[in-house]
Amino acid sequence: MNQVLPLQDGFETEEVYQYLTNVRKESQQLQSIAYIERPTHQTKLVKDPSYTLSTLEQQLLCDFQQLKQSITIVNYDFDSNFNELPQSFPKFKKNFDFDPPSIQYFYNISRVHTFKLLHFITKLLSINTAPTLSKWIWSLLVRIDSVIDANECSLIRDLGKKAIKIRNKCRDSLNNPLNPITMYTTSFIIIIVGKYFGQHDLLLNAT
């Protein structure tokens, strides 16, 4: 399997380098603990003529799709170190200051709680996104199925729209550029929401 969130030229700060290295290591550890890996194969991307992916975006989407395809859930108990449900935003938001729990947590919470968590994360996404929140977002997007209803689609679109708004606003401001963590986070949100979840119209607003 290809590396998840591979290190690429262009992410030059030590902070981002260390962050991506840690996420890659965590994903490899999760695969050995929580996944039964299917035979790897080349993922075919659905082409959208209205938006052409860059090489980095293409690789990121391939990695995301291949990771999802490799997962077979067995029946895991809740993570013994973390079992709090996302009931109330004020009570739960403190958890985003820390690394997310293991992937089995995301696969054990209900569908309702999954999208409530998505709503919480969308609220917190900002021009100063912390690496811990970025990891929560990645893990949650891996968890969400591609078949979703209208209300769930609306919540996913809200996340995509927020990411686009943040990135476009900072691109237009020379005095307030995005930090590399936020740039990378908003980029993978936009690509995954637009391409994997089929919200192609949002990509037009991100160019």
Each residue of 132-182: pLDDT tens digit?
Answer: 999 999 989 999 988 899 999 999 999 999 999 998 887 766 666 778 888
The number of beta carbons lying within 10 Å of the beta carbon of residue 106 is: 20
1-58 pLDDT per residue, tens: 333 344 444 444 455 556 555 655 555 554 443 433 333 333 333 445 456 777 777 8
Write the burial class of residue 55 (CB in 10 Å: 0-12 exposed, 13-18 middle, 19+ buried). Answer: exposed
Measured in degrees and rounded to the nearest 5, phi and psi for residue 53 equal -75, 140
Residue 196, amino acid: Y
Q: Which two tokens stand for residue 43?
A: 């993922």
DSSP state at residue 78: P
Q: Where are the domains of the chain?
A: 92-207
φ and ψ of 183, to 5 deg: -60, -45
Q: Is 79 exposed, middle or buried (0-12, 13-18, 19+ CB in 10 A)?
A: middle
In whole angstroms, give the CA distance from residue 37 to residue 44: 18
